[in-house]
Amino acid sequence: MEEQKEPKKSAPAPGGGKRQYFRRRKVCKFCVEKIDKIDYKDARLLQQFVAERGKIIPRRITGTCAPHQRHLARAIKQARNIALLPFAASL
């Protein structure tokens, strides 16, 4: 029978080794502030969730929960249609 070799373990880097990056848990702004209805007329609130180019920022970046992200996307689209928010950035 052959002996099984154990994988070599690398030595820690001098100076203390790798430092783990602490990622803060993202929370939904609407859940925390208990905002039930996302109003399409509140352009200042909606602008926080739209990138400079006019795209809707995804929930993995903003931290909003799925139901609020759906309401938010609908409100942003309504605000675009009545010209409160731009469809795209002007170049």
Q: Does residue 4 lie within any of the structural domains?
A: no
Note whether 20 and 57 are within 8 A (CB).
no
Q: Does residue 63 lie within any of the structural domains?
A: yes
Measure the CA–CA gap between 72 and 17, rounded to whole angstroms: 43
Q: Does position 82 have pLDDT exceeding 70, yes or no? A: yes
Copy the structure tokens of residue 40: 């399409």
Measure the CA–CA gap between 51 and 69, rounded to whole angstroms: 15
Q: What is the pLDDT of residue 5?
A: 67
1-20 tens-digit pLDDT: 666 666 666 555 566 667 77
Domain containing 53 equals 29-81
Q: What is the pLDDT of residue 28?
A: 92
Q: Does residue 17 lie within any of the structural domains?
A: no
42-51 tens-digit pLDDT: 999 999 999 9
Q: Does residue 24 lie within any of the structural domains?
A: no
- The total number of structural domains that make up the chain: 1
Measure the CA–CA gap between 15 and 79, rounded to whole angstroms: 53
Copy the structure tokens of residue 13: 């880097």
CATH number of the domain encompassing residue 42: 4.10.640.10
Q: Does residue 37 lie within any of the structural domains?
A: yes
Q: Does residue 23 lie within any of the structural domains?
A: no
Q: Does residue 69 lie within any of the structural domains?
A: yes
> What predicted TM-score, i.e. pTM, was given to this entire model?
0.72
Note whether 70 and 77 are within 8 A (CB).
no
Q: Does residue 49 lie within any of the structural domains?
A: yes
Measure the CA–CA gap between 14 and 58, rounded to whole angstroms: 39
